[in-house]
Amino acid sequence: MGLFRLVTGLPGPSGFGSASTGEQVTDGMDASHLTVVITGGASGIGAETARVFALRGAHVIIAARNMEAADDVKQLILQTTPLARVDVLKLDLSSLKSVRAFADQFLAMDLPLNILINNAGVMFCPFQLSEDGIELQFATNHLGHFLLTNLLLERMKSTAKETGIEGRIVNLSSIAHLLHRYEEVIRFDRLNDKDTYSDKKAYGQSKLANILHANELSRRLQEEGANITVNSIHPGLIMTNLMRHSFLQMWLLKLFTYVFWKTVPQGAATTCYVALHPSLKGVTGKYFIDCNEEMPSYWAKDETLAKKLWDLSEKLAQSTK
């Protein structure tokens, strides 16, 4: 990702760049035959992603912790797209009980599932444990999405098989996986170590886990020949509610680095591009920034680390049943 291209918004090989918006990268596309689940669709780039998919005709399922905010997003979408198909379901990713309840509710609706966008997250939180006793950023950003994806995967496989339409899973990661790292990379044996906890390193760890999860799932699906791709993205620097734990710090950062920041519509572009654009048919296990494929960190490409993380995630998810 060249700094010149990032600052100027000049398009990359895909024809899009940092200045592109979700509407622009999906211009002319018909998604009326698709059903998409978007976690964290009640605010920020999740809400904008939901709006763009609804605009393109998709059946949008907004999965959100704050149901009032999610309903507000639904009403705003309907004001501009009266025929939009939007449903709102409760999902708290920090609670594996809530993840299972959401999956049960969605599957009971007997809908197809073409696209899963693992968008929701928390950022730079003070040390907290989830209700399942797991460090909150790891629990919310990675483990909740890991379990959710596993619970919805068979529905995605059957939808892809029955319709012949490629399924797509998009994990929202962050460039923070390059910038903030514990010495152990993933703290397999010290996830809940309060004494050495760092809010930024814990966030970077969870965002690295998003990429490792996508890569390992991509490898497994390719092995079994499933018609589903899995990719991860960095949406860019956007001032949203995600930064509520570090608002002043981020505001000061933005003051001095404003040329690198995006609007919310621009922040949703890479998600929409990777989830919907026909040029990415069959592309899987990749990492995207500004709607173009980029190279993630060395650790993000480590297959042994990805498999070890998968095993830990399965163990943690099963221990909370």
- Structure tokens, 21: 């918006």
Helix (H) / strand (E) containing 24:
helix 22-25
| Residue 64 identity | A
Locate 168 and state its tokens. Answer: 């797509």
Backbone angles phi and psi of 259, in degrees to 5 = -70, -15
Distance of alpha carbon 283 from alpha carbon 125, whole angstroms: 34
CA distances from 288 to 168, 174, 179 (A): 14, 10, 17
Q: Are 214 and 169 in contact (CB under 8 A)?
A: yes
CA nearest 136: which of 180, 92, 184, 91?
92
Judge whether 197 counts as a catalytic residue.
yes
Q: Which one-letter DSSP state was computed for residue 219?
A: H
- Of 50, 105, 45, 102, nearest in space to 73 by CA: 50
Chain centroid to Cα 252, Å, comes to 26
- The catalytic residue among 197, 203, 273, 287 is 197
How far is 232 from 214, CA to CA, in rounded Å?
6
Catalytic annotation, residues:
197
